[in-house]
Amino acid sequence: MLSTGRPSVPGTPPPSAGRTADLGKEHSELRLERDALKRELAALRNATVKEAPLKSPGPPPSAAAPALASAAPAEPPNLRAAASALSKPWVEDAVQIRDAARREAALAAIREALGSGDPVRVLAGLFAVGGISQVAYDREAMHSLVLPCLRSEEAVIRRLALGALLSTGAGPADVDRLLAMEDDPSPEVRSYLPTALSSAARGNLTGGVARVLLKALDGASPRDLRNVLPQYWTDLAPELEAKFLELARRPETRADTIYYCLRGATAKTPQMVEVLIEALDDPTGETSLWALWGLARGIPESLVPRVAATLVQALEARSDTGGTEYAFFGLRTFGTAEEIPPLERIAGNPLGSERMRRSALETVEAIRRRLGR
């Protein structure tokens, strides 16, 4: 069952028999519209073929890689617009919460579109998958329909398929499929591949995943770096960590590397900790702020004395608008008895704000409770 795309008004009664007939008519009209789009797309392709110069055949694709076009073909100009328009009512029907039948019909329409083989409908299905992330549905079944889209001749379909793969639960079983796209002819596909790989690898940034990320980081401009940097890992290739540290020490890439990558590391290495400590002296207030945030989390036991002493130094030098809440958080989490005397001095400093003095006292009490004192 398809809808007009208009949201239901709360309190509207269930569809009547007449409404059902209207929907049947609407379904027929959309089918005719689809057929017209298919004819238009075929005409555009024929025109493209006639105008394009002949090219000598390239080498056959690798047996390990999915068959992709040897060059990025021109995208039909109306493909995205037509697919986006077609997907809109499916998304609206899928996300509404008042009519389960409408929702299930929309999900069925999306599944049918993904498996249709028609570029407009396939792309519409991928657009729709990206718009229903909050909906409860069988992601595994949808995932299996997205996988063939990675081998589409249309670059825009391959790119949208990468996003849809993440929306439907990309995992380690997808890593080899994604690595096979490393040399995809489309820059748009290659630019999104590191994000898809980082997610699918579930934190295992080693081997081929690390290789693709390194290549992307080497080629990224400072402005595009945030789209490549991974935000989570459990296993990290040494050469990838070295690249993160290099980027974090460059003035033009320091802020993004710390914000998008290093600050959230759940198990920071000594080298990462030193880079974050160095960044506390950065004249850019935002960079030092997020470095302080990062030093309050993910600190191994062996590095606690070094980091805790640094957090106290930050509190002694900063006003209560300089990210001091992050330093207090870190000290409440892993501070030791060594930090109690300087915290008591901060609590007794008449020049400090009332909030600063109160936070220092609360942190002292939290440390003592944690130490059993």
Residue 253 CA neighbour count, 13 Å, CB half: 23
Examine the pLDDT at 275 and tell me if it is beyond 50: yes
Torsion of CA 258, 261, 263, 269, to 10 degrees: -100
Q: Which pLDDT score, from 0 to 100, does residue 373 have? A: 76
CA–CA distances in Å: residue 94 to residues 23, 33, 37, 101, 315: 16, 21, 23, 10, 50
Radius of gyration, alpha carbons of the chain: 27
Contact criterion met (CB below 8 Å) for 262 and 244:
yes
CA–CA distances in Å: residue 303 to residues 98, 270, 289, 298, 333: 53, 7, 20, 10, 13
| More confidently predicted of 131 and 231 | 131
Could you tell me which residues come within 8 angstroms of residue 227 by beta carbon, excluding any fewer than 6 positions away? 191, 195, 220
- The mean per-residue pLDDT over the stretch 193-208 comes to 96
Examine the pLDDT at 184 and tell me if it is beyond 70: yes
Examine the pLDDT at 204 and tell me if it is beyond 90: yes
Percent of the chain with pLDDT over 70: 79
Give phi and psi for 86, each to the nearest 5: -70, -35
Examine the pLDDT at 36 and tell me if it is beyond 80: no
Give phi and psi for 205, each to the nearest 5: -95, 65
Residue 226 CA neighbour count, 13 Å, CB half: 8
Which tens digits make up the pLDDT trace of 289-346?
999 999 999 999 999 999 999 999 999 998 777 789 999 999 999 999 999 999 999 9
DSSP assignment, residue 339?
Answer: G
Q: Among the listed ranges 44-53, 96-105, 361-370, which one has the minimum average pLDDT value?
A: 44-53
Q: Mean pLDDT in the chain?
A: 84
Examine the pLDDT at 269 and tell me if it is beyond 80: yes
| pTM, two decimal places | 0.72
Q: Where are the domains of the chain?
A: 71-169
223 pLDDT tier (thresholds 50, 70, 90) = confident
